[in-house]
Amino acid sequence: MLEFMDFVQQSFYNASRWSHENNYTNLTATSRALLDFDTPRGFRVDISSLSSPNFATSYALGSVGLVNGSLSYLYTSLPLTKAFEQAG
């Protein structure tokens, strides 16, 4: 059920054939959708590489309240270059 003033406003819109698309809130909807977003609380950076066909490294640094990081490496007896060529 509409309040009285909402009903009067709605009646005016109907009588004047006012399009709700012309309301200020609708005119700014696109810019609002682009600019009003939740900012991230933290960040994470990952850097990885295939240093040689048999050796891969990965570094990660992140901050979500606490700063944390990791360093990973992998050595394999089989070369991985074909797998990376097919993936990329």
Q: For residue 81, tell me if it sits in a domain.
A: yes
Q: For residue 64, tell me if it sits in a domain.
A: yes
Q: For residue 19, tell me if it sits in a domain.
A: no
Question: Quick one: tokens of 70?
Answer: 């990791």
Calculate what percentage of the chain has a pLDDT beyond 70.
92
Please report, as a single letter, which amino acid is at residue 50.
L
Question: Quick one: tokens of 72?
Answer: 């990973």
Q: For residue 31, tell me if it sits in a domain.
A: no
DSSP secondary structure letters along 22-86: GSHHHHTHHHHHHH--PPPS-EEEEEEEEEETTEEEEEEEEEESEEEEEEEEEE-SS--HHHHHH
Q: Domain range spanning residue 81?
A: 49-87
Using one digit for the tens of pLDDT, what is the confidence trace for 19-53? 877 777 788 888 888 888 888 889 999 998 888 88
Task: Give the confidence band of 9 by pLDDT, cuts at 50, 70, 90.
Answer: confident
Q: For residue 70, tell me if it sits in a domain.
A: yes
Domain count, the chain: 1
Higher-scoring residue by pLDDT: 51, 2: 51
